[in-house]
Amino acid sequence: MKLDVDFCGVKFKNPLVLASGVLGVTGASLKFVVENGAGGVTTKSIWREGHQGHPNPVIIANDHFMLNAVGLPDAGIEKAHIEIGEYMKNKPAPLIANIVEARIADFAEVAEKVSALNPDIIEVNISCPNVEDEFGKPFACSTHDAAAVTRAVRAKTKLPIVIKLSPNVLNIAEIAKACVDAGADGICAINTVGPGLLIDLETREPILANKVGGVSGPAIKPLSLKAVYDIHKALPKVPIIGTGGIISGEDALEMIMVGATLIGVGTAVYYRGVECFQKMADEMMAWGEKRGVKSLDELRGVAHAGAYSKKFQNYS
């Protein structure tokens, strides 16, 4: 089965893309991920100026989920210039530059500066749930605000832009449509769920220094699948990066069946090591070859009503 895909006119050797915030700190670490089988990589969230993030402890995980309140630390656009520049030397796979800011005008400025570094795609993070104490509700929680950020970024770059949305809303498809109407080329769904909280029974206090953090990992897969399903149903021609709880090749195939083109892989690196990308690609290949599927295009969106019975009656 062929795993190569086209996303916003960019060619990926397979749909498995490193999600923002995981190993995307340096040019060398991004290349290391590609060496281990990723079809593409996403940088950590880039701020116009440096951002400190939260104090430790910032992450706790178990077999079912991860809770993190890293707080989007970053050294700013000048450091990004160095690391992206390093990655772009003999670039091994497409690069998605993730950007974040606290004000709409600042999103526009950082988008313009990042565009000058020539990434393949810009991903706009308007949905982090664990910085509300610092900046208030994420832009992704408002149709109006999400569209406003999209318009501001669109005005400053000719690169494809993807808006990363939050699951913590009543109608994610409605917000996705507002972003597309405002100029987005694609959607990334979902960011972490929550925020959530865990208690240390001995200290009788929250475990994370920030008290709350975003929930990711296997437990949120049903939520991410439903979000992508809803977005694809409302916007069937809009490419989607589906992310959230994708740990195995089978998980990735489920995400493609609900409508995703690329698969964001994050906490799988914790559960299966950086080798997870090649392992997941191999698992996808094995599944497809057993069933006579020739390409991922045959599977995209088939979970929507009637698609399987009409198009794939010979597969079992």
| Tokens describing residue 232 | 């694809």
Residue 128 annotated to the active site: yes
How far is it, in rounded angstroms, from Cα 310 to Cα 316?
14
φ, ψ of residue 18 to 5 degrees: the values are -55, 130
C-alpha–C-alpha distance, residues 211 and 285, integer Å: 41
Does residue 269 fall inside a structural domain?
yes
Distance CA 309, CA 16 (A): 27
Predicted local distance difference test score (pLDDT) of residue 128: 64
Write phi, then psi, for 27 (nearest 5 degrees): -60, -40
pLDDT for 52 equals: 75
| Res 311: pLDDT | 52
Instruction: Output b/e per residue, 139-154; b: 16+ Cβ within 10 A.
Output: bbbbbebbbbbbbbbb
> Can you tell me the distance from the alpha carbon of 175 to that of 161, in angstroms, rounded to the nearest whole number?
15
pLDDT in tens, the chain (316 residues): 999 999 999 999 999 999 998 887 899 999 999 999 999 999 999 988 877 778 889 899 999 999 998 877 776 888 889 999 999 999 999 999 999 998 899 999 999 999 999 999 999 999 865 444 444 577 988 999 999 999 999 999 999 999 999 999 999 999 999 999 999 999 999 999 989 999 999 999 999 999 999 999 999 999 999 999 999 999 999 999 999 999 999 999 999 999 999 999 999 999 999 999 999 999 999 999 999 999 999 999 999 976 555 554 554 4
Residue with the two structure tokens 């493609």: 256
Classify residue 22: in a domain, yes or no. yes
Contacts of 306 (CB under 8 A, 6+ apart): none
DSSP string, 23-61: S-SSHHHHHHHHHTT-SBEEPPPBPSS-B--PPSP-EEE
Is residue 156 situated within a structural domain?
Answer: yes
Tabulate helix, strand, coil % of the chain (nearest 5). Answer: 35, 20, 45
pTM for this structure? 0.93
Look at residue 231 and give its three-state secondary structure: helix
In a domain, 245, yes or no: yes
Alpha-carbon dihedral sign for residues 99, 93, 302, 20: negative
In a domain, 20, yes or no: yes
Question: Comparing C-alpha atoms, which of 159, 62, 157, 89 is closest to residue 120?
Answer: 159
Pairing of strands 186-189, 240-243: parallel
**CA 187/CA 162 separation, integer angstroms:** 5
The amino acid occupying position 132 is E
Say what the pLDDT of residue 130 is: 46
Structure tokens at 269: 């690196």
Residue 316 lies in a domain: no
One-letter amino acid at 309 equals S
Q: How many domains does the chain have?
A: 1
What is the rounded radius of gyration, in angstroms, for the C-alpha atoms of the chain? Answer: 18
3-class SS of residue 110: helix
| pLDDT at position 53 | 78
- Specify if 92 maps to a domain: yes
Catalytic residue, from 128, 179, 188, 276: name it. Answer: 128
Angle of CA points 80, 81, 85, to nearest 5°: 110
DSSP for residue 257: H
| Residue 284's CATH number | 3.20.20.70
Give which of 235, 236, 254, 232 is closest to 245, Cα–Cα.
254
Task: Give me the DSSP letters along 143-194.
Answer: HHHHHHHHHHHHTT--S-EEEEPPSSSS-HHHHHHHHHHTT-SEEEE---EE
φ and ψ of 283, to 5 deg: -65, -40
- The pLDDT of residue 134 is 45
Chain CA centroid to CA 292, Å? 29
- Give the amino acid at 306: G
Host domain of residue 205: 5-311
